[in-house]
Structure 1
Amino acid sequence: MATSALALATGAAAAGQTALVLYETKGADQTRRQDGIAFIELDPAAPDYGQILAQIPLPPAFHSHHIFYNPARDRAYVTSLATPELRVFDVSTFPYRYHSVEVTGCEVGEDVSFSQAQGKWYLTCMGSSVVIVGDADTDEVLETLVMPAPWPHGIATHDGIDRQLVTSTVNPSDPSEWGEEIIVLQPSTGAVLSTHKVSKKPSPSGAGPVEAFFVPGVEPPLVYITNMEGSLWLAEWQSATTSFAFREAFRFDELGQGMTLEVYFSADGDRAYITSANPGHLNAFDITEPRAPKHLWAVETAGGAHHLVFSEDGSRAYVQNSLLNIDGMNDGSISVVDLQTGKKIDSIDTFKNAGLTINTIVLTPEAEDFHSH
C-alpha cells in the first residue's frame, strides 16, 4: 500500500476529507498477518479518492479494534483485543507518535469513554468483565471496577447527571453466550447503582446489548441501546427518581436484520443512523421526536456493516463493513450511501482488494466531526 506522508505533513486541509481506519488481514489465515492504521481519502472530487495516503503499522499480535478521541481531540486511544494495552497517539502533529498504557487485568479491550467532570477515561474489558479507569491527563491507571454482569462492551457517560451505562454483550471465549443487561454506574464514586435487563424474553434471553448512546441535546437525557438480537431499546432519565426507565422501541429482526451495532446522529439532530451487521444494512430514523423514533429506510451495504463517518456536508455516509473479521461479516469494503435517497452509490474496495478488512473508521481529528465514537 503506497504512502504519502509528505502530503499529510504539509497539512491535512489539502485533502478533501481524510479518515483513519484500523485494518487487519482478512479471513482465518493469519500466518502473514497485517495490523495497522491507514489514512484514506473519502472526497469523491479528490484525485486520490479511495486511495491510502499513509499508514502506521501496528504489531500483528496487537489486534487493534477501536479508535476513540479524547474531548480535546488531541489524543487517540486505540484498544486491543489481544494484549492488555492501550496505545495513546498524540494526534496534534503529524506523524502521530504514541505511548503505551499498560492496563493490567484487561482482557479484550473494547470501548473508551471520557468524563470531563472527573478528568478520567474508562475502558471496558469484555474478556475479564471489568472497567479500567485512567487519568485523562497523565493516562495513569487509577482503579479497576468489577462489573456485576459479565462481558462489558459499550459505555456511555453523561456528566450532567453523573451516570454511565455499560452493556453486557457477549462471551468472547464462547460467542454463543450473549448478555442481557445494562449496568448503571456513578462516575464520581465508581459505584454500581443498578442493573437492568433489556429484553422481553425469559432469561437467559440472549439479547446481547452492544452499545449505548446518549442522544445529543435531549433533556431529560435519553439513551439509545442496540441489541445484537436485532432491537433498539431506550433508557429515559427520570429526574424525580434519579434513575432510568427502559423500554423497547424498534425490532430490526422483523426486517430480517441481526447484529444491530452502532448509532450515529445527524448534525442537526433530526436523524439517527443505525447499522446492522448480518446482513449488512444502514437504517435511517426520523428522530424529530427522539422518544418515538420513526424508521424511514434501510439500505443493504455489505456483510459486517459497523461504524461510519459522514461527508462534510452531511449528505453521504461511509459505512465500514466488518465485524471482528467474522466470516460472512468481514467484507472489508466501505459503502457510500446517499442519505437523501437512501441508496448505496459507491463501494470503496481498496482494503478488500488488498486482502484486508477494516475494524473501524473515524475522521481525522481536525475534522468537524459532529458525532464520532
Structure 2
Amino acid sequence: MQRYKTTLLAAMTSVLTLAAGGAAAEQTALVLYETKGADQSDRQEGIAFVELDTNEPDYGQILAQIPLPPEFHSHHIFYNPARDKAYVTSLATHELRVFDVSKFPYRWNSVEVADCEVGEDVSFSEAQSKWYLTCMGSSVVIVGDAETDEVLDTVAMPAPWPHGIATNDAIDRQLVTSTANPSDPNEWGEEIVVLQHSNGEILSTHKTSNAPSPSGAGPVEAFFVPGVEPPLAYITNMEGSLWLAEWQTETEEFAFREEFRFDELGQGMTLEVYFNAEGDRAYVTSAMPGHLNAFDITNPRAPEHLWATEAAGGAHHLVFSHDGSRAYVQNSLLNIEGMNDGSISVIDLETGEKIDSIDTFKDAGLTINTIALTPEAEDFHSH
C-alpha cells in the first residue's frame, strides 16, 4: 500500500500559503481517511490536506498529513463558529480531539468524554457558549464549555442512538435524531427529540415515519435551513426520505411532515443536506448506491427536486468549489462494504453531471470518512 509522506517544511509551505489567502485557500480540503475494507491488520488513519483546485499542478493530491492513532477511528470534523478550533469525533475511544486550527502546525488536546460511546456529531450554541456531542452507543448528549472544552453535563436521551443534532439559538431549541443501534446495524430508530438547550430540558419526541412502529425510518441528520423565518429544518431518514420540521410561532412547537421519497428513485441511506451560499439550492446525499440530489428551495417549505446524479458507493459529505459551481462528494459510509468506494466525485452543479473522480485515496487502499474545507475558506451555508 502506498504511503504518502511529506516533509514538515513542505507541509508548512502548503498550509501557510492557504492562510495567506491565495486562490488555493478556498480549494483545499481536510479529509479523515482510514484503511479500506475488512482487513485492518495494517490499519492507517489520519487527517490529510487535499488540493481541489483544478488549476493547481497538485490537483487531487495530498499536500500534508496529520497521523491519528489507528485505534481512534475518527469519524467527523466540526468547526466551532469562530472556525479557530476543529473537533474530531471518535467511534472507538472516549475522547474528542480538539485541534487549534488558527496556526500551523495544528496542535490538539484530547477531551475525555467518559460517558460517550460511539461519538458522532458536534453542534454549537453561541448564545450558551457550549458544544454538544451526540453519543450513539451510550444514548446520551455530552455538553461542554466552548471556551475551555470542559465537560459540563451528560443528558440522557428518551429515544436511543442519538446521532444528528441541530441547534437554533433564536428559538432555544435543539433537534436530536434517533438513528441506529451501533451494536446491531439492522435496528433503526424513528424519532426526533426536541430539547430546550439553555436548560437541557427534554420537551418532546416526534416520529419521522408514517408507517406503523417500529418503522425503522432511521432519522440520521437534522439541518436548519439558513435564513428562513419562522425556522425550518430538513431531516434525512436512512430509509430514503426527507422530512420537514416547521416551527410554529404561536405554540412554540415543531410540526413534522414527510416531504420527499428518495427510495422511489431507487436510493437508500439518505444522509446529509448542504445549502449553497445564495440559499436557493439544497443538495442531499444518499449512500446506496451513491447519489447527489439537487433541490430548488426558492420556496424552502416546498423543495423541488431538480436532478439526481450518481456519485459512488457511500456518497456522504461534500464541499463546494470557491465559486459554488462544483461539489466534491466524499464516498464512504462507515467503511461498509459496497458503501466505501473511497473516491471523491466532482459534480458540476449547473449541469448535474459528474465530471471527474479523485481516486488518490482509493488507489492507495484507503477510504474517506469525511471532507471539510480548511477553516480559512469562504464559509458557505453548508451545515
TM-score of the aligned structures, taking structure 2 as reference length: 0.96
d(CA) in 1 for partners of 2:23 and 2:331? Answer: 23
Give yes or no for contact 2:279–2:381 (8 Å, CA) kept in 1: no
Match of 1:2 among 1, 5, 30: 5
Give yes or no for contact 1:20–1:361 (8 Å, CA) kept in 2: yes
Match of 2:105 among 86, 92, 95: 95
Instruction: Return the letter of the residue paired with 1:98.
Output: W
Instruction: Return the letter of the residue paired with 2:206.
Output: H
1:173-184 equivalences under 5 Å are: 173-184=183-194
Equivalent residue, structure 2, for 1:11: 17
Match of 1:79 among 81, 89, 94: 89
CA shift for structure 1 position 105: 1.0
Over aligned residues, Cα RMSD in angstroms?
A: 0.8
How many aligned residue pairs are there?
373
Q: Find the residue that maps to 2:53 and give its secondary structure.
A: coil
CA offsets, 1:334-358, max 9 Å, x none? 0000000000000000000000000
d(CA) in 1 for partners of 2:381 and 2:267? Answer: 24
Match of 2:274 among 240, 264, 270: 264
CA shift for structure 1 position 15: 5.9
Equivalent residue, structure 1, for 2:299: 289
Equivalent residue, structure 1, for 2:341: 331
Asked if 1:346 corresponds to 2:356, the answer is yes
Equivalent residue, structure 1, for 2:257: 247
CA shift for structure 1 position 10: 3.3
Match of 2:217 among 207, 214, 226: 207
Equivalent residue, structure 2, for 1:105: 115
Give yes or no for contact 2:122–2:165 (8 Å, CA) kept in 1: yes
Instruction: Return the letter of the residue paired with 2:371.
Output: I
CA shift for structure 1 position 8: 2.5
Paired-residue identity, %: 82
Asked if 1:144 corresponds to 2:147, the answer is no
d(CA) in 2 for partners of 1:372 and 1:100? Answer: 26
Instruction: Return the letter of the residue paired with 1:314.
Output: G
Instruction: Return the letter of the residue paired with 1:79.
Output: T
Equivalent residue, structure 1, for 2:166: 156
Equivalent residue, structure 2, for 1:192: 202
d(CA) in 2 for partners of 1:59 and 1:14? Answer: 32
d(CA) in 1 for partners of 2:93 and 2:382? Answer: 24
Match of 2:238 among 228, 233, 239: 228
CA shift for structure 1 position 165: 0.1
CA shift for structure 1 position 14: 4.5
Gaps of 5+ in 2: none
Equivalent residue, structure 2, for 1:302: 312
CA shift for structure 1 position 199: 0.0
CA shift for structure 1 position 6: 3.1
CA offsets, 1:49-100, max 9 Å, x none? 0000000000000000000000000000000000010000000000000000
Give yes or no for contact 1:362–1:372 (8 Å, CA) kept in 2: no
CA offsets, 1:224-248, max 9 Å, x none? 0000000000000000000000000
d(CA) in 1 for partners of 2:214 and 2:258? Answer: 17
CA shift for structure 1 position 371: 2.8
CA shift for structure 1 position 159: 0.2
Structure 1 outlier segments of 4+, above 6 Å: none
d(CA) in 2 for partners of 1:298 and 1:64? Answer: 29
Match of 2:128 among 99, 109, 118: 118
d(CA) in 2 for partners of 1:190 and 1:109? Answer: 19
Gaps of 5+ in 1: none
